Chains A and B, each alone.
Chain A
Amino acid sequence: EIVMTQSPATLSVSPGERATLSCRASQSVSSNLAWYQQKPGQTPRLLIYGASTRATGIPDRFSGSGSGTEFTLTISSLQSEDFAVYYCQQYNNWPITFGQGTRLEIK
């Protein structure tokens, strides 16, 4: 099983600033990496797939990068609605696995 490790567990950032979230895979997942946003009491929302492709309707302040084992989600200028938990997910190998999440909170 591929283990996905996200860092940091919690990130405190001020509105308008940049946030950088990391995700590391225990072995290569090529570019088969997705990012999701989940707000309290809500369903996860797909942000990025293929490591760097924004999903439909996702603002361009969200960007993804990386391949192999190291991935990054960057939010260029944080808006109030961006404070949430973010998960990475690999879909290169069975079983599909998620990272444990990064909580992005208001500083």
Chain B
Amino acid sequence: QVQLVESGGGVVQPGRSLRLSCAASGFTFRSYGMHWVRQAPGKGLEWVAVIGDNGNKKYYGDSVKGRFTISRDNSKTTLYLEVNSLTPEDTAVYYCAKEGAFNNWYFDLWGRGTLVTVSS
């Protein structure tokens, strides 16, 4: 079954860290760039980060640059997002998403998301 399943979200205090995971199955994970996209409650979609198929290329949105780190383990078909120095503005559902075709950065497969709530 082709799917992405995120985990690792939860309630965390400002300034703390979390590691989000996204387990992929049903497709050749190592052949696609992977992304994180987030959505604050009641708001629109915000692209967060991308990692190339072999991990060689990484880009970040301005709001998370320097605080978030994207990585992947192709042997485990898993994508990660290390989120540090969290603020209430980082509260959102975090989706992992697969690029539609090699180096074409639209998203044809999304996970159900994991909710990160930053609150004291």
Contacts and interface: CB of A to CB of B under 8 A. Distances in A.
A63 interface: no
Interface residues of A, number: 23
A97 B61 CA distance: 9
Contacts of A1: 62
B39 to A, nearest CB: 8
A83 interface: no
B95 A87 contact: no
Interface of A: 1, 32, 34, 36, 38, 43-46, 49, 55-56, 87, 89, 91, 94-101
Interface residues of B, number: 21
Contact of A91 (B95, B104, B113): B104
Interface of B: 35, 44-47, 50, 59-62, 95, 100, 104-108, 110-113
Main secondary structure of the interface of A (DSSP, over half): loop
Contacts of A56: 108
28 contacts: A32-B105, A32-B106, A34-B100, A43-B112, A43-B113, A44-B107, A44-B110, A46-B106, A46-B107, A49-B100, A49-B104, A56-B108, A87-B44, A87-B45, A89-B106, A89-B107, A91-B104, A91-B105, A94-B59, A95-B47, A95-B60, A95-B62, A96-B47, A96-B50, A96-B105, A97-B47, A98-B45, A99-B44
A36 B35 CA distance: 16
B1 to A, nearest CB: 15
Residue of A1, A94, A99 with most partner-chain B CB within 10 A: A94
